[in-house]
Amino acid sequence: MQSSRSKPCSCPSLKLREVASMYFTMVAAFLVILVVALQGSAPRQSNFPYKVPLDPQGLLELSWNVSYPEQAVHFQLLIRELQFGLLFGMSDRGEFENADLAVLWSDGHNSYFGDAWSDAKGQLHMDSQQDYQLLGARRAPEGLYLLFRRAFSTCDPKDYLIEDGTVHLIYGILEKPVRSLQAINISALHGGLQRVQLLKPNISIPQLPRDMKTMEITAPDVVIPSQETTYWCYMAELPEGFPKHHIIMYEPVVTAGNEALVHHMEVFQCAAHFDSFPLYNGPCDSKMKPERLNYCRHVLAAWAMGAQAFYYPEEAGLAFGGPGSSRYLRLEIHYHNPLVFKGRRDSSGIRLYYTATLRPYDAGIMELGLVYTPVMAIPPGEESFILTGYCTDKCTQLVSAVPSGPAAPQRGKVARGFSLAPGSTNLQAANLKF
C-alpha cells in the first residue's frame, strides 16, 4: 500500500465517506448506461501500446499506456467472457489481502464499478477516495472493453504507489451475482496474478536503414508439453559464409492464441571454437539434449511477456556473422502452462532486423546476476534473505568497446553506456532482499 512507501506530496484532505458514496453510485449508474450505449468496434490498439494476458486462458487481456506529463497510467481491460464482474488491482507481493482494487460487479440486474481496498483479512471496503477513474466501457464482438485511469501517486494511504520496477497485478473473476461490494468473498474467487513493468521508459524510435533485412528464429510448429513449465530449445543455422552484420532491432513473434502461454524467449549464439552443433529440437532439460548445446550462451535477443520491440541506438548494433562468429543459434522458449493444455501447437520466436551497413560501434550485452543453484533457496520462516554477488577485476578488465566502423572509440569506453577503467579493482556488490 502507498502508506508504507509513498513519496512526499501535496494532497487535498480525504473526501467524506458520504461524498464518496454518492460519487460511487453515480459512477455505477454511468457504467450501466455506457455498457448499453457504447456498442461497436474495439478501441484502437495504437492508443495502448503495451499488452499482456492476465490469466492462462487469455480471457482477460490488459493493455495500457503511460503518460509522464499526467503522471498517470491509462488501462484498457478486455474481458472476453464476462460473467458477473471481476476484481483488478495491485498489491505488494500479489496477495489479495491489503490490496488496491478496481471492482466491477453485478447484482444480476445492474452493473457497478468502483475503487476499493481489502484489509488484512481480505474484506473489501469502498475507498473514500475514488482514484480508479472510469473513462468508458464498450462492447465488441470479442468482449467488453473497460477503460480507466490511475495516477502514479494518489496520496491515499489505501492506494498502491505505482513506480519503477515490477508490479504485481492481481485479478479475480466473479462467477455469481453479489448484492454488494462487501458481500464479495475474495477467498472463493477464481483469480491469479501477473507480474509486469507498468512504467516503461519514454524512448524515441530511431530511423531504420533502407538496406534492413529480417530473419525469423521460430519454433517449428512444436506441440507444447502438457505440463506447467517447459523450456524448449531449438537450434537454427545461419547461411554458409554469412558475413558480419549488425542487429539493429528485434521483436517477438507469438503464435496467435498462445499469448498467455509464451512467457519469455531468448536467442543465443553458440561458441565459435566449435565447427558444428547438433540441430536439436526438444525440451532443454531432456537427457536427449546434446551436451554441446550448453556452449550456446551468448545472448543476441531476449523478450519477456509485456515487452515491445527493442531498438538499438543509431550509432550501434549487435554484431553477428563473419569471422570469429558461430553460424549456430539456439532459440529458448519458456512455456508457462498452469492449466496443462494438451495438443497446443506453437511457432513462436523472435524476428531479427539487421543491416550489412555496419554502425560505428558494436553493441554488447552484459548479464548481471547469480547462477541458479540450490544455495539460492530462501530458508523457511525467514523475514528477509540477502544474496550478494561480486564483479571482480577479472570481469571489469574485459569491458571495452570494439570498433566496427571508422569511428574507433578509446579503450574502456562503450557506446551510450557506462565506462570502466581497464583493470579496475573495484568490487561491485549487488544485494537482493526478499
Q: How does pLDDT run across 70-107, given as a tens digit for each residue?
A: 999 999 999 998 889 999 999 998 999 999 999 999 98
How far is residue 141's CA from residue 45's CA, in Å, rounded to a whole number?
15
Q: What is the DSSP string of 194-233?
A: EEE--S----PPPPPPTT-EEEEEE--SEEPPSSSEEEEE
Please give the CATH number for the structural domain made up of 212-390: 2.60.120.310
Q: Answer yes or no: are the C-beta atoms of 100 and 173 closer than 8 Å.
A: no
pLDDT for 121 beyond 70: yes
Residue 12 pLDDT greater than 90, yes or no: no
Spatial neighbors of 77 by CB under 8 A, at least 6 apart, are 60, 61, 62, 63, 88, 145, 146, 147, 148
For the stretch 274-333, pLDDT in tens is: 999 999 999 999 999 999 999 999 999 999 988 889 999 999 999 999 999 999 999 999
- The stretch 54-82 carries a mean pLDDT of 93
Percentage of residues in the chain having pLDDT higher than 70: 81
Q: What is the pLDDT of residue 202?
A: 81
- The predicted structure's pLDDT at residue 237: 96
CB 9 within 8 A of CB 151: no
pLDDT of residue 395: 73
* Average pLDDT over the chain, rounded to an integer: 82
Q: Which residues contact 37 (CB under 8 A, 6 or more apart)?
A: none
Task: Report DSSP letters for 361-400, one per residue.
Answer: EE------S----GGGPPPTT-S--EEEEEE-HHHHTT--
pLDDT in the model for residue 397: 74
pLDDT value, residue 420: 31
Contacts of 118 (CB under 8 A, 6+ apart): 96, 97, 98, 99, 101, 124, 125, 186
Q: ∠158-161-167 over CA atoms, to 5°? A: 115
> Which whole number is the average pLDDT over 391-396?
77
The pLDDT score that the predictor gives to residue 5 is: 40
Element (H, E) at 17: helix 17-37
Domain ranges of the chain: 50-196, 212-390
The residue type of 142 is E
At 186 the pLDDT is: 87
Residues 153-162, mean pLDDT to the nearest whole number: 94
Beta carbons within 8 Å of 1's beta carbon, 6+ residues apart? 92, 98, 100, 117, 157, 158, 159, 160
So what's the pLDDT on residue 431?
32
| Confidence check: pLDDT of 1 > 80 | no
Q: Own/partner pairs for 17-23, CB < 8 Å, 24+ apart? A: 17/126, 17/128, 20/126, 20/127, 20/128, 20/129, 20/130, 21/126, 23/130
pLDDT of residue 406: 43
Look at strands 361-362 and 316-320 and give their pairing.
parallel
Answer whether CATH 2.30.30.100 is correct for domain 50-196.
no
**pLDDT exceeds cutoff 70 at 407:** no
